[in-house]
A and B are shown apart, each in its own frame.
Chain A
Amino acid sequence: MILHRDDDPTKRPVLVESGDFHEVTQIISAPTETKFNLTWGILLLLSGSLLCLMLGLFGYLFWEGTGVWGVNVPVAWGWAIVNFVWWIGIGHAGTLISAILFLFRQRWRTAINRFSEAMTIFAVMCAGVFPAFHVGRVWVVYYIFPLPNQMSAWPNTRSPLFWDVFAVSTYFTVSVLFWYMGLIPDLATLRDRSVSKIRQMAYGIFALGWRGSARHWQNYERAYLILAAISTPLVLSVHSIVSFDFAVSKVPGWHTTIFPPYFVAGAVFSGFALVSTLLIIAREVFGLKQVVRLHHLDNMNKFMLLTGSLVGYAYAMELFIAWYSGSIYERFAFYHRALGDYWWAYASMVTCNVVIPQLFWFKKIRHSIPITFIITIFINIGMWFERFVIVITLHADFLPSSWGYYKPTWVDIWTYVGTFGLFGTFFLLFLKFLPQLAIAEVKGVMPEANPHHAHTAHH
């Protein structure tokens, strides 16, 4: 969809100074066409090794059983669910940037949307592996779906865990379709530029014979608009439903109505942080500084400031309501979270998520790329601790005799590290073989793309 634009050059969304379509094609296609990038190779080797580590550890778990993780009653969820919620939260910025910013006509999104959509897909894959293995008998994991079986048994569709299966699998599928749809015209660009037969065939098959027809663009734009419009409520529903896994239970500290909006804000917060982290690295490695500008990073920093403050408000409100409710169990849960055995996790969470992002009030800090990079890392760590703090509330349950101190095992820790390998491997392959920015869309928001532009500019 072409957005309404004015021709004031200072307000260009701006990607390329020359305003030449060919130059945009060149810059964005270049990383896929250059021979070999050493930094990329080293990173891929590293990610590939971590991926193998993850596969090995899942193999070990498959052989031995879920006991190799530190989970036990009462902390039956442990790191697996912490990591699941963390990764799925990260996956939220992709759709937010793609869909919501699209609907609000935010032209600067074109600099980052392809990137963050890819990130969404890979983050959801990383999230998915944890509950899949956490069920215990992963070889019958298909029981979570309503499939006809010889026992005539069906899942309980009134359970949040079942809703979660639908929410996460729908989210993954829709994200893939949305991403692929955006890729079709760009794959055609790569097809038409290719010099070797293999490249031409590979890109050509996935470009589906796209020929830039205006009649096709019309249906395409309508489909894209509808996908954006349905993805917006979808992204809000997914993390709300993830929060129902907690909120619908009767555990003090979990059973709260603030969870859905609080989880969504946190998800957007962590998602933007990781998009920023990766974008800062990629623009260095692939020389995309002309396209991903400082003001794009600045915009994202403002989003992090906003969502970080919302998360801070949610923490404060949780504490207030725990006190105001007068329920001794609720009060104990929060008192114990903040000052009990895991006080260090609560303190890390507040420091990383609420205190440090406040630095983004200062323009100097928002415009400093190294400081932004460091802050985004803090946010990612802080958001992991947030989920840890929530899940670990279980360690002091209703029965004091079962209280204990939950610790992860080495398998927990290295499996989590290994998922970075899964994410990194796919992400690096994406960076190398697919256009990192939406070529057609970047061109579409340039002032020169406006059919009425030539008159105002040259006459």
Chain B
Amino acid sequence: MSHATPAMKAPKTFGLLAEFGSPADVYHAAEKIRDAGYKKWDVHSPFPIHGIETAMGIGDSKLGWIAFFCACAGAFGGFSLQYWIHKHAYPLLIGGKPMVAYPAYVPVTFEPGILFTAFGCLLGMLVLNGLPRLYHPTFKSSNFKKFSDNGFFVSIESKDPRFNVESTRSFLQSIGARNIEVLED
């Protein structure tokens, strides 16, 4: 996060945390924050809010590409393993079947493809999200615990070029936020 200036020692402001009343409120707030030109900010909710990515103006997930790459790697690996075993490593004649009996290779091509994709999805999701990360400045707020129950939050980071504690606070107030807190890094 904050390896920018090693000289700084004093606790730095991470940003502002603000609460909203409902999925609809946070959705409309997100539209306004997007239109105000903020970039380093986030919405926190107990469940994914439909269409929030449009309201926030963030692009599409790259996860599909990771999954696709893993699927190809798994399937290729599965097929190659079988080809290598029968053609080179251990050519065992069974029932007069050809060594490269590719229709019989289908199951063990398909299954590793699926297996690798599944790992790609979970691990890819974690890598893209920067998880696991057991500590985060938002966790310092006791009010933030509600995010996993019925709370809807917006956090705006101080790294955002438009960020200013006072003006951002009053902007958040003007769009209906409550319980606005300053988060220390």
Q: Which residues of A contact B (CB under 8 A)?
A: 1-2, 20-22, 25, 146, 152-159, 162-163, 166-167, 170, 173-174, 177-178, 180-181, 185, 188-189, 191-193, 204-205, 208-224, 226-227, 230, 233-234, 237, 241, 244, 439-441, 443-444, 448-455
Contacts and interface: CB of A to CB of B under 8 A. Distances in A.
Contact of B85 (A146, A212, A213, A222): A146
A223 B63 contact: yes
B46 A189 contact: yes
Contact of B50 (A170, A448, A451): A451
A218 B58 contact: yes
Contacts of B145: 192-193
Residue of B43, B104, B107 ringed by the most chain A CB atoms within 10 A: B107
Interface residues of B, number: 75
B111 A237 contact: yes
B45 A166 contact: no
7 contacts: A2-B48, A146-B81, A166-B78, A192-B147, A210-B131, A214-B58, A448-B23
A170 B133 contact: no
A174 B144 CA distance: 33
B67 A226 contact: yes
A209 B133 contact: yes
5 nearest A-B residue pairs (beta carbon): A451-B27, A208-B132, A21-B150, A2-B50, A163-B107
Interface in B102-157: 104-105, 107-108, 110-112, 114-115, 117-119, 121-122, 124-126, 128-129, 131-136, 138-139, 144-150, 153
Contacts of A157: 81-82, 85-86, 104-105, 108
Contacts of A441: 47
Contacts of B55: 451
Given A208-B126, A223-B122, A215 B58 contact: yes
B135 A449 contact: no
Contact of B56 (A214, A219, A233, A455): A214
B85 A192 contact: no
A221 to B, nearest CB: 5
A120 to B, nearest CB: 14
A162 B97 CA distance: 16
A440 B47 contact: yes
Interface in B75-93: 78, 81-82, 85-86, 89-90, 92
A244 B107 CA distance: 11
A226 B63 CA distance: 9
Interface string B34-61: 0000000011111111111101101001
Contacts of A443: 46-47
Contacts of B138: 211
B8 interface: no
A192 B108 contact: no
A189 B64 contact: no
A9 to B, nearest CB: 17
Of listed A158, A163, A166, A188, residue having the most chain B CB within 10 A: A158
If over half of B's interface residues share one DSSP class (helix, strand or loop), that class is named, otherwise mixed; here it is helix
Contact of B147 (A152, A180, A212, A226): A212
Contacts, number: 221
A444 to B, nearest CB: 4
Given A163-B107, A166-B107, 4 more contacts: A166-B111, A212-B44, A219-B128, A226-B67
Most chain B CB neighbours (cut-off 10 Å) among A20, A159, A218, A224 = A218
Given A20-B150, A166-B107, A241-B107, A214 B45 contact: yes
A439 B132 CA distance: 21
A220 B129 contact: yes
Contacts of B173: none
A25 B149 contact: yes
Contacts of A153: 90
Contacts of A237: 107, 110-111, 114
B49 to A, nearest CB: 6
A213 B136 CA distance: 12
B170 interface: no
Contacts of B64: 222, 226
B73 interface: no
B72 to A, nearest CB: 13
Contact of B46 (A155, A180, A212, A451): A212
A226 B70 CA distance: 12
Interface centre among B44, B108, B138 (most CB of A within 10 A): B108
A167 to B, nearest CB: 6
Contacts of B71: 230
A223 B129 CA distance: 12
Contacts of A181: 121-122, 125
A265 B125 CA distance: 33
Nearest to B107: A163
Contacts of B164: none
A218 B133 CA distance: 18
A215 B134 contact: no
A230 B78 CA distance: 17
Contact of A217 (B45, B82, B108, B132): B45
